Structure 1
Amino acid sequence: MDELRWILLGLGILIIAGVYGYARLQDWRRDGPPWRRRGHANREPFAHYSEPALDDDETLTGDPLTGSDQDDDILGPARVVETGPAPSPAAPTEPTEPPGDDLEEVRGRAVGEEKIIALSVMAPDARPWNGADVAEVLESADLRLTAQGVFQRTLDTDDGPVALFTVANIVEPGTFDAGNPGATTTPGIVLIMQLPAPFDGLAAFELMLAAARRVAQTLGGQLLDGRRCDLTTQAIEHLREELLEYRRRARLADRRRSGGA
């Protein structure tokens, strides 16, 4: 048993020595014998490479990878090459118009699909408004209480007054007491504009929005959209974009109708 252990130990030593010798032999073949390596210290790749200095007053010339300098005589000075004026963008088919409140009768534009814009103003919880207070605020915004018991902002046209928008009681049947508004209380009002009409919908919307804001600020109410959600700035911009698109389609429809007449 002892002889077998000594034999296995000797074989292990021989194998280790063989592997070591083979590795040294490969090193000799690649790098040469040790006495010829004195001038070659072990270094990391690109040991001689250093980053070029980049100063504000100096211009880097040459390629640090190839080590070659650019020849200014060959390249020549920099020149500006004129390629002609850039093509101007195509004009839009419909000019973009900012929202405004300038309102006048518009002939030939009461066309297009039916569209209804609604806003709501709600009184604080458990504190309904008196109809007389609502009437005072709306009348200051140039609305008038009609015989039907609703408030209207009107526009005088060649065919007579036209309602820009209507303000109704949010409680059915939606009316106030035409003879005595103070006899009515309400938890809120709804403002409604209906298109098509002989006026610009966007301008009428600005007037309706201003009236709704006046009620909310004066009586302490909450301004909501047609779905009874908070009327955010994004929601207002979305309504304006819808009305701009409606205006564009209405003008196209009016042109087609005029051309076919």
Structure 2
Amino acid sequence: MAEELRWVLIVISVFVIGGLLIHGLWSVRKKDTPETPTSERVEPQHSAPAHAPSTEAAEPVAFERDEPQLGELNFTADEPQIDTSVPEVPIEDDLQVVEQEPAATQSEEPAAVADFVIVHIQMPEGMTMQGSQLLPAVNTLGFKYSEEGFFNRHLDPAGQGPVLFRLVNMYNPGTFDIDNMEQFSTAGVSLFMTLPCDGDGLAAFNMLHSAAKKLADEFGAQILDAEREVMTVERVRQYVEQVRAFAA
């Protein structure tokens, strides 16, 4: 009886151990096998638009003014603007065009366009005009210092009456500091007059041209025209004709 019980326990132990081994192998195999998803969800991909706006702020564009710099004296006259717009003709409710009486014509003449005569006095390369020498020279020629920082030549040498022409610094900022002329220096100055000129335009131009020659002789400088080309006799004649055109 004891012998049979021992064999029964041995058989039961074998089945239990075998079941445990089989269960363990099945668990390991199941763990190593990846589960295949029953369904995959495809997320739509939104492609960036071809012309997506940039998020970076655009740098401001620096616009230069069209007006000439004073130091360069590249003056341009403002041309009068002509109104080319066509007046609208009112229409009545019955689509009949209303005839309008012609507007009275005005006999006023258009304002004259201003122009400039410009003469430069340019020092040789590497040399400058010293303010301590320039100030007495312009005073001798009858120029008077103005609040704007220019030297003006008035109709009256004492500094009274209209301004005939001006002397400015050829280089920026174009003005002179009267209180610091001892420390001032420049490579050139410019003389210019506005046309039409108050008084005798030809006489004013002769004074301007004479002042330019005296300053050039004083400093060993060269006289240039408005285009900064060497002044010639022909160019002086052109200036004279230009002044005469505004005096007519």
Q: Does 1:130 align with 2:126?
A: no
Q: Cα RMSD over matched residues?
A: 1.8
Instruction: In structure 2, list runs of 5 or more residues that go unmatched.
Output: 1-110
- Offset of 1:150 from its aligned partner? 1.2
- Offset of 1:178 from its aligned partner? 1.7
Q: What is the letter of the counterpart of residue 206 of structure 1?
A: N
- Offset of 1:161 from its aligned partner? 2.5
Q: What is aligned with 1:42?
A: none
Aligned length: 136
Provide the C-alpha distance between the structure 2 equivalents of 1:162 and 1:138, rounded to a whole number of angstroms. Answer: 18
Provide the C-alpha distance between the structure 1 equivalents of 2:128 and 2:118, rounded to a whole number of angstroms. Answer: 21
Q: What is aligned with 2:47?
A: none
Whose relative contact order is higher, 1 or 2, with alpha carbons under 8 Å and at least 6 apart?
1
Q: Does 1:179 align with 2:179?
A: yes
Q: What is aligned with 2:152?
A: 152
SS in 2 for 1:152: strand
Decide whether aligned partners of structure 1 residues 184 and 171 sit closer, same or farther in structure 2, where only a CA change above 3 A counts: same
4+ long deviations beyond 3 Å: none
- Offset of 1:112 from its aligned partner? 3.1
Decide whether aligned partners of structure 1 residues 241 and 196 sit closer, same or farther in structure 2, where only a CA change above 3 A counts: closer
Decide whether aligned partners of structure 1 residues 242 and 112 sit closer, same or farther in structure 2, where only a CA change above 3 A counts: same
For residues 190-244 of structure 1, give each alpha carbon's deviation from its aligned partner in whole angstroms, at most 9, with x where no partner exists: 1110122321221111101010000001110000011100110111011112212
Provide the C-alpha distance between the structure 1 equivalents of 2:144 and 2:220, rounded to a whole number of angstroms. Answer: 21
**Residues 46-195 of structure 1 aligned to structure 2 (within 5 Å):** 112-156=112-156, 161-195=161-195
| Residues 164 and 198 in structure 2, CA contact (< 8 A), matched pair in contact too | no
| Residues 137 and 215 in structure 1, CA contact (< 8 A), matched pair in contact too | yes
Provide the C-alpha distance between the structure 2 equivalents of 1:205 and 1:233, rounded to a whole number of angstroms. Answer: 14
State, as a whole percentage, how many aligned pairs show the same letter. Answer: 28
Q: What is aligned with 1:224?
A: 224
Provide the C-alpha distance between the structure 2 equivalents of 1:146 and 1:183, rounded to a whole number of angstroms. Answer: 19
| Residues 196 and 243 in structure 2, CA contact (< 8 A), matched pair in contact too | no
Q: Does 1:233 align with 2:199?
A: no
Q: What is the letter of the counterpart of residue 161 of structure 1?
A: G
| Residues 148 and 178 in structure 1, CA contact (< 8 A), matched pair in contact too | no
The structure that is helix-richer by fraction is: 1
Q: What is aligned with 1:244?
A: 244
Q: What is aligned with 1:53?
A: none
- Offset of 1:132 from its aligned partner? 2.1
Provide the C-alpha distance between the structure 2 equivalents of 1:201 and 1:235, rounded to a whole number of angstroms. Answer: 17
Q: What is the letter of the counterpart of residue 218 of structure 2?
A: T
Bigger Rg over Cα = 2
Instruction: In structure 1, list runs of 5 or more residues that go unmatched.
Output: 1-110, 249-261
| TM-score, normalised with respect to structure 1 | 0.49
**Residues 23-34 of structure 1 aligned to structure 2 (within 5 Å):** none
